[in-house]
Amino acid sequence: LALERYDETTDLEEHLDAFTTQVDLFKDEDAIMCKVFPTSLKGPSLKWFTRLPSRSIDSFATLAKRFSIHFATSRPHRLTSLTLNNIYQEKREPLRAFMERFGKMTLAIRDLDPAIAMHHLTTALRPGPFVNIVCVRSHL
């Protein structure tokens, strides 16, 4: 597998998604998925897996659930649209740099309504010609 090994410092859901995507060839082979999964682990997560009681996993769904529960504290904090209330273009920040920062933030927010993003963008920008254009276009 060309998969970075999980060591509980990254998003466990993303790891499970990446793993299941890569072993999709074996989707109907639950036992194979269970046997291949530990090859995607390292460090404490691998130690956790090797200490599971014998015959305690009856399916990949069970393994994924137990993995998710055990490493739940490793989940990244989910951002919401309220996060955008705290982002503003700094006094000397170039527009391009701010737009990159704002864009990255909006991509990290799941199911963000474009109208809400546009509202926050217009309030976060320093006054100037660009914000005037954005405001006019957002009202069309």
Task: Report pTM.
Answer: 0.47
Joined together, the tokens standing for residue 34 give 């269970």
Q: Is the pLDDT of residue 13 over 80?
A: yes
Quickly list DSSP for 5-58.
PB-SSS-HHHHHHHHHHHTGGGTT-HHHHHHHGGGGB-HHHHHHHHTSPTT---
| pLDDT band, very low/low/confident/very high, at 41 (cuts 50, 70, 90) | very high
Instruction: Say what the pLDDT of residue 140 is.
Output: 46
pLDDT at 5 over 90: no
Q: Inform me whether the pLDDT recorded for 38 exceeds 70.
A: yes
Residue 137 pLDDT exceeds 70? no
Residue that wins the pLDDT comparison between 49 and 23: 49
Question: What is the residue extent of each domain of the chain?
Answer: 12-74, 81-138
Which structure tokens are listed for 62? 């069970």
